[in-house]
Amino acid sequence: MDLYWASEMHSWSRPVYALGWAFVAGVVFIAYLETVEAVRRKHSLRSRQDKERKRLTERIQNVQRTRQAMEKESHTWRGFAYYHVVRKVVHGDSGICSFYLQPRDQRLGLPPFHPGQHLKFQFTIEGRPEPIVRRYSLSDAVNGKYLRISVKLAKPPRDCPDVPPGLGSSFLHQEIKVQEGEFLQGCLLVAPPNGSFYLEPLGIEPVVLIGGGVGVTPVLSMFNTILKENPAREVWFFYGIRNSKEDILSEQGVLFPQAREIIKLHKNLHLYTSYSRPLEGDATRLESKPEVYGKGRIDIGLLKQLLPSKHFKFYICGPDAMMAQLVDDLEDWGVPSEHLLTERFGPVKKTRMGAGPAKIKFRQTGIEAAFSDEDGFILDLAERMGVSIPNDCRSGSCGTCQIGIVTGKVCYPRKPSFRYSPNHCLTCCSVPDGDLELDA
């Protein structure tokens, strides 16, 4: 009996073993196929990445060659050169006009510039004995056709209506009359592009661009340049204004051509416009496109809500109060101060840090004086004491007033945009931090 059952069990076990081995073989074969497919996908992905990297490298090299060719063709001048205004565009009710410039002497060509830099102008105004100098940010990318500035008419403050309007902006808005392709008002004196508030467009680090009101102009130049030359870079562009009447970005020709289409194709590009005082007619836009339009001011709450992290380099230009609050809040959030760059359009307000009384010695002249609360900044004291220090912008953006520090330290109520040299200070916007000796 035992032999019989053993024989029967052996006869049943053969197909079971066969099925087991077939199952194992099937599993192994399936695993093999999956491994082969995974390897194929990996190679395919790597191949696509290599091709994309190659195309990006070629595009960057082409841009670099174009820039180098423009630099060779362009003869950067010293001092001022005459430029025609060939086009003037009024941007709705924003109070902003864009002026398109070309050199009178075609041999000069159009100078290359870094996005974010500005032009310096010299205006001769009737009734004033001396010319005035003003700076206006370039508001477009390098294009080989024109230089563009966008200027807001500076009106008297609401609480001081008797204050005269801005001289430079009034001259441009009211005296420059242009028909398409024809300049009717002589020429403007223009100095080469300058300024240290700029962005390297071919970089790879992610950036946040913030423009408040007319402060959008330098960061608009940055954004347009990235759209043109490096759309693979991660960029968040925040634009803060009161309502749609001031929204110059919605006008044709302000943004880089096909900007909206480029942004849709690249998930790394973001443009967000925030209305602090929206009009009744703005409700539809705000409700239908909440991903690109919002209500309120650009503040740290909005940035924390929309940004994926704080690991960006921030470029900020706008009203002083907005910039000061943003910089303080971003530093509190943990953004390093070297990643916070700002640009001011006017003199820094004379608000001092609590540095306490100090003595300043000007070594070359031998003059020594006490710095007091009546002196806003070191440059103000120098002028009071008759010490001549060249200066221009009085906002920490041009570097004209930079002088060497012999001994001592200075501090800045607000970080200047000009990148001053080590052991130097910008006298127009710094105060002494204790006794100080300067090379002036």
Q: Give the separation between CA 51 and CA 47, rounded to whole angstroms.
A: 6
Residue 433 sits in the same domain as residue 317: no
Strands (E), 5-160: 81-91, 96-103, 118-123, 132-137, 147-152
- Give me the pLDDT at residue 160, please: 63
pLDDT tens for 172-203 read: 998 888 765 566 556 899 999 988 899 999 99
For the chain, give the mean pLDDT.
85
Overall average pLDDT of the 404-415 stretch: 90
- Give me the pLDDT at residue 38, please: 75
Residue 278 sits in the same domain as residue 173: no
Q: If you write DSSP's letter for every residue of 322-389 in order, what string do you get?
A: HHHHHHHHHHHHT--GGGEEEE-SSPPP----S---EEEEETTTTEEEEE-TT--SHHHHHHHTT---
Residue 228 sits in the same domain as residue 330: yes
Overall average pLDDT of the 74-96 stretch: 85
Residue 102 sits in the same domain as residue 221: no
Q: Does 23 map to a domain?
A: no
Q: Does 72 map to a domain?
A: no
Q: Give the separation between CA 127 and CA 62, rounded to whole angstroms.
A: 50
Residue 294: pLDDT over 80: yes
What CATH code is carried by the domain that includes residue 431?
3.10.20.30
pLDDT tens for 366-402 read: 999 999 877 789 998 998 889 999 888 888 888 889 9
Q: Does 36 map to a domain?
A: no
What CATH code is carried by the domain that includes residue 110?
2.40.30.10
Residue 212 sits in the same domain as residue 339: yes
Supply the range of the domain harboring residue 423: 358-438
Residue 215 sits in the same domain as residue 312: yes
Residue 260 sits in the same domain as residue 310: yes
- Model confidence at 155, pLDDT cuts 50, 70, 90, reads confident
Residue 336 sits in the same domain as residue 220: yes
Specify the 3-state DSSP secondary structure of 211.
strand
Number of domains in the chain: 3
- Give me the pLDDT at residue 396, please: 85
Residue 329 sits in the same domain as residue 369: no
| Of 21-35, 268-282, 294-308, minimum mean pLDDT range | 21-35
> In terms of Cα–Cα distance, which of 316, 428, 322 is closest to 375?
428
287 phi/psi in degrees, rounded to 5? -80, -35
Answer with the one of 343, 375, 406 that is the final residue of a domain. 343
pTM above 0.85, yes or no: no
Answer with the one of 284, 311, 343 that is the final residue of a domain. 343
Q: Give the separation between CA 313 and CA 203, rounded to whole angstroms.
A: 11
